[in-house]
Amino acid sequence: MSTLSLVVGLLLTTADAQASTPGGTATVPLDQLIPLYAQREAPKPAPPPTEALVKSQLKGRLSSEALLVDGHFDVEVLADGRWTQVRLLQLDADTYPSELPTLEDATVGVVDGYLCLLTRKAGRYAFDVSLSVRSPGAGPERRAQLRFGPQVSPVPLALEADTSVFTLMEPLPASASEAYAVYPVQGSLRVGWRAAVAQGAQKPQVRPPLEPRITEAHASWVSTLEGRATLRVSYSLSLDREQPLELELPEGHRLERVTLNAIPVPVEAQEGVLKLKAAPARLGETGGTLEVVLARELGVFHLSGRLKLALPRVSWPVAELRARAHFPAVFNYRREGGSLEQVEAATVAEAASSGLPGKELSFRQYLVAASAPTLELGYSVDISNSYFR
């Protein structure tokens, strides 16, 4: 077997290699030397100057007994292939993590009294944590301290404090976001506060009662040619609790039915006065509805005549009242008196949408208080569409 042999002298340059490898020469065939040369170990890369870089933002708010902190951390881990522990915050005896994140390829937890990020893979990890820093001791004055870990640069704390509830123990600069800036001192954030009013001296706030009133009322008269008329009045109530309400019915009217918040109410008028208890439609709301239906005999319509109409007198003030009259179409009607003022008649489309027969007349009155709105109408036969004029 003819093989080109080559004598190669291996010069060992590193001190470790010189100590562990004996010196000398060896004769190796060329076809075996080339694979050995290709398999030589590459030099290891230099380790990073630091294991990780950390950016952080902290926000806080006060409670009666603790400082509540929300922190955002952006950690850039440089070391790879081995475990890296980044100490973020030091947890004293009165500091408790209330919310910790779940990360991929990393873990955030408490190790040896520190809030730490643990990973063995290089990369960027962004996450949020929440802490509760309780104030030791008792009494109205409270103090809390939060210390940074050795691998985190101290940053200010943006503190939200309601000065009507809490008084800060020392003046703090205010930031543009309507929060106070607490700057670290010797790697720690310290906050002191006390309640503006002692806890035992606080009295429950009682909201003054809402003055009951009627924001809007809608009334409608509907009459046949024989004079049988129906009056329907709907009231929009404004109140925050059960309140007494009285309605004095107009003379000559009889009560058909009453509904409160769309529920029929079994009440009867006593000597023309209807007394009931009004309440909001739902608990905690400030609105309700009341509907009253009355009936009356106007008498047979003649060729001409006068109609005297009236609405119930309500014990609550009425901000705005709108009324409509639907009377036989064979007559012309004109307002001749009363507190209700006539307004422009509704359009044909609006009249048709109401579904009520006859001619429609519209009226309104503002600021009705302790009085019964009235209306006087004169009527005469309408001959505008007759053949003989």
**Phi, then psi, of 45 in degrees rounded to 5:** -70, 155
Q: What is the reported pLDDT for 123? A: 93
Nearest C-alpha neighbor of 116 from the set 131, 106, 105: 106
Is residue 317 in some structural domain? yes
DSSP 285: -
R_g (Cα) of the chain, nearest Å? 45
Pull the structure tokens for residue 222.
């509907």
Mark whether 232 and 369 lie in a shared domain. yes
Name residues of the chain where pLDDT drops below 70.
Answer: 1-23, 40-45, 175-178, 196-207, 345-355, 385-389
Mark whether 259 and 331 lie in a shared domain. yes
Pull the structure tokens for residue 73.
């951390």
Report the CATH number that the domain containing residue 315 is assigned in CATH. Answer: 2.60.40.1730
Last residue of a domain, one of 197, 227, 245: 197
Domain that holds residue 139: 52-197
- Say if residues 191 and 185 touch (Cβ distance below 8 Å): no
**Number of separate domains in the chain:** 2
Mark whether 82 and 220 lie in a shared domain. no
The pLDDT tens digits for 51-98 are 899 999 999 998 888 999 999 999 999 988 889 999 999 998 899 999
Report the CATH number that the domain containing residue 95 is assigned in CATH. Answer: 2.60.40
Q: Are strands 157-160 and 52-62 parallel, antiparallel or unpaired?
A: parallel
Q: What is the reported pLDDT for 283? A: 80
Q: What is the reported pLDDT for 271? A: 86
Is residue 159 in some structural domain? yes
- Say if residues 146 and 131 touch (Cβ distance below 8 Å): yes
- Say if residues 75 and 124 touch (Cβ distance below 8 Å): yes
Is residue 255 in some structural domain? yes
Mark whether 310 and 218 lie in a shared domain. yes
Mark whether 187 and 262 lie in a shared domain. no
The pLDDT tens digits for 150-199 are 989 999 999 988 777 888 887 777 765 667 889 999 889 999 888 765 54
Q: What is the reported pLDDT for 224? A: 86
Q: Are strands 66-77 and 52-62 parallel, antiparallel or unpaired?
A: antiparallel
